[in-house]
């Protein structure tokens, strides 16, 4: 059965009414922001993933691209701009969140930015990600910066509280000023093949978000197979997700290149079929500057330059920024500094 949707069915009028922050193209075709579309179970059921091929391709990704010197510095600055600077610890305090927000406003020390010739760049992170309880604190600390607050809501990280309770929490986070909401799906819906239930769940969160962007966390470390990851990605996108995100950062296995490759290719095919762009956020376990370059190169190879913007790509990170700072200082001075000289908060 032919299930492909003509792009004009969704994208022409929608693109005019819902432009992205900057033009996004795939294979020369301009894309619109995502909107909810009817659940197409044919698309879900036809998903196939060649695990061996994905793993082989992922294994080559860190070796296919190598950027050095000033080009590496430029890519690392891009990684900072695409970072969701995150604190999701049980001992978080309002003061820690305020310090994190100060770091988000000025992610690099002044002498480094000046040495890189970037003193006039409006450099800041993509967002600050906190628990619902600290949304108002973060919003106040970031006032006037243009940096959105991302709240992890909806029973994060397990996502097992009643749906009504989770939807209410999303609404409260938006009312408190969150511009982005990171929710986690009910993984049991994926295990049981309950695609209608998963679609309805994500659609309910999307509606509760109102003007805020919705990032849907799949919890890929819990989903067991790459096929499950791909199918969950498709359902989340059809339900209206603005981003699909790998992990909560709390699973034993978080963002990996094979999982990321499967999700990236799902959103690429979704863009081809619908004319709409969905963002991607790997989160959990990305701690080094070298790892950030691997993910940036993967995005560039698979999706093109348009996705290397904070509106479509984010790192979920808590310790990544410190290592990027160290690498940039090495580029400027030829010496590695101690990690404690680059505190996150």
**Strand partners for 30:** 25
pLDDT at 250: 86
Nearest to 131 by CA among 187, 169, 161, 164: 169
Output phi, psi for 29, to 5 deg: -105, 130
**Strand partners for 315:** 83
Dump pLDDT digits (tens) for 50-63. Answer: 999 999 999 998 88
pLDDT at 258: 96
Kindly name the residue from 103, 206, 215, 245 that is annotated as catalytic: 245
Q: What is the pTM of this model?
A: 0.91
Alpha-carbon span 131 to 115, nearest angstrom: 35
Q: Is 266 helix (H, G, I), strand (E, B) or coil?
A: helix
pLDDT at 236: 98
Percent of the chain, pLDDT > 70? Answer: 93
Dump pLDDT digits (tens) for 172-208. Answer: 999 999 999 999 999 999 999 999 999 999 999 999 9
Kindly name the residue from 84, 242, 281, 294 that is annotated as catalytic: 281
Fold classification of 8-341 is: TIM Barrel (3.20.20)
Over 60: is that where the pLDDT of 9 sits?
no
Over 60: is that where the pLDDT of 1 sits?
no
Residue 169 tokens, joined: 């929490």
Q: What is the mean pLDDT of the chain?
A: 90
For residue 35, name the pLDDT band (cuts at 50, 70, 90).
Answer: very high
Q: Is 114 among the residues known to form the active site? A: no
Kindly name the residue from 84, 103, 182, 222 that is annotated as catalytic: 182
Q: Is 281 among the residues known to form the active site? A: yes
Within 8 A by CB and 6+ apart from 229, the residues are: 49, 218, 220, 223, 259, 262, 263
Over 80: is that where the pLDDT of 146 sits?
yes
Within 8 A by CB and 6+ apart from 62, the residues are: 257, 290, 294
Contact 287, 253 (CB under 8 A): no
Q: Is 250 among the residues known to form the active site? A: no
Domain boundaries, the chain: 8-341
Within 8 A by CB and 6+ apart from 148, the residues are: 126, 127, 128, 142, 178, 179, 180, 213
């Amino acid at each position: 059965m032919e299930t492909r949707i003509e792009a004009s069915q969704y994208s022409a009028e929608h693109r005019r009414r819902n432009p992205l922050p900057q033009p996004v193209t795939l294979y020369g075709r301009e894309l619109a922001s995502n909107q909810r579309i009817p659940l197409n179970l044919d698309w879900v059921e036809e998903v196939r993933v060649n695990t061996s091929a994905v793993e082989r391709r992922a294994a080559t990704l860190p070796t296919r691209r190598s950027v050095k010197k000033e080009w590496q510095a430029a890519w690392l600055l891009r990684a900072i701009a695409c970072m969701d600077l995150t604190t999701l610890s049980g001992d978080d305090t309002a003061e820690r969140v305020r310090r994190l927000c100060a770091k988000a406003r000025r992610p690099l020390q002044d002498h480094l930015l000046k040495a890189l010739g970037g003193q006039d760049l409006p450099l800041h992170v993509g967002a600050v990600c906190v628990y619902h309880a600290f949304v108002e604190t973060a919003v106040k600390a970031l006032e006037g910066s243009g940096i959105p607050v991302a709240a992890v809501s909806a029973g994060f990280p397990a996502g097992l509280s009643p749906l009504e309770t989770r939807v209410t929490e999303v609404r409260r986070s938006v009312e408190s000023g969150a511009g982005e909401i990171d929710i986690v799906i009910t993984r049991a819906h994926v295990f049981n093949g309950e695609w209608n239930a998963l679609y309805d769940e994500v659609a309910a969160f999307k509606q509760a978000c109102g003007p805020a962007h919705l990032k849907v966390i799949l919890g890929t470390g819990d989903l067991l197979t790459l096929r499950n990851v791909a199918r969950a990605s498709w359902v989340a996108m059809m339900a209206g997700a603005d981003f699909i995100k790998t992990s909560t950062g709390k699973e034993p296995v978080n963002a990996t290149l094979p999982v990321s490759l499967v999700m990236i290719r799902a959103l690429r095919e979704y863009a081809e079929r619908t004319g709409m762009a969905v963002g991607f956020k790997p989160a959990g376990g990305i701690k080094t500057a070298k790892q950030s370059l691997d993910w940036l190169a993967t995005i560039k190879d698979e999706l093109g330059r348009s996705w290397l913007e904070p509106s479509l790509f984010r790192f979920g990170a808590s310790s990544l920024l410190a290592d990027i700072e160290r690498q940039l200082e090495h580029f400027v001075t030829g010496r590695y500094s101690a990690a404690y000289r680059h505190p996150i908060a």
